């Protein structure tokens, strides 16, 4: 019984990631027009596959020697999760590209190795530029538009 408790506490992050991927995948396939949701369906299906494969891999290895999701680690992850939640809540009102700039800048500042604003700004501009080219030019996906583009 103790071994089961050890495995469950060790795998809680993996199970949580898999459940999130499962919810995201089911939400992306619940739309009325499947063609309109092709990109979210692809991303959520890949996320579900990778999370499931990781959960299986770690289960077969019996979670040996891999870190447990501790309160300290959860405290380090929480600010990034808050940035993502705020991004999701305000992306439609603020616009996709402006909210992507703000979210990427915040995440880079929180978790980046170097916290030089100029480096983070250049990286943010490059990533959002690639997002713009990929979504608006190549894929021609309609993104939430308000303040910026």
Each residue's pLDDT, cut to its tens digit, for the chain (149 residues) gives 455 555 555 467 778 888 888 888 887 777 676 666 677 778 888 888 988 888 888 777 665 565 566 778 778 888 988 998 888 888 778 887 888 889 999 999 998 887 888 888 898 889 888 888 887 788 777 766 665 55
Distance CA 106, CA 110 (A): 6
Same domain, residue pair 54 and 78 = no
pTM for this model (two decimals)? 0.60
Same domain, residue pair 91 and 128 = yes
Q: What share of the chain is helix, strand, coil (3-state, %, to 5)?
A: 75, 0, 25
Same domain, residue pair 76 and 64 = no
Total structural domains within the chain: 2
Same domain, residue pair 110 and 57 = no
Residues 6 or more apart whose CB falls under 8 angstroms from that of 97 comprise: 128, 131, 132, 143, 148, 149
Same domain, residue pair 17 and 84 = no
């Amino acid at each position: 019984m103790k071994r089961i408790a050890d495995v469950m506490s060790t795998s809680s992050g993996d199970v949580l990631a898999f459940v999130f991927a499962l919810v995201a995948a089911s939400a992306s396939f619940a739309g009325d027009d499947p063609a309109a949701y092709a990109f979210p369906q692809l991303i959520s299906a890949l996320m579900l596959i990778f999370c499931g494969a990781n959960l299986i891999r770690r289960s077969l290895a019996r979670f040996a020697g891999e870190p447990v999701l501790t309160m300290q680690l959860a405290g380090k992850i929480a600010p990034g999760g808050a940035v993502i939640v705020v991004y999701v809540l305000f992306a439609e009102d603020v616009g996709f590209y402006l909210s992507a700039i703000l979210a990427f800048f915040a995440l880079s500042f929180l978790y980046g190795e170097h916290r030089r604003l100029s480096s983070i700004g250049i990286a943010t501009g490059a990533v959002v530029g690639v997002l713009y080219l990929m979504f608006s030019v190549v894929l021609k996906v309609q993104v939430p538009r308000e303040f910026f583009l």
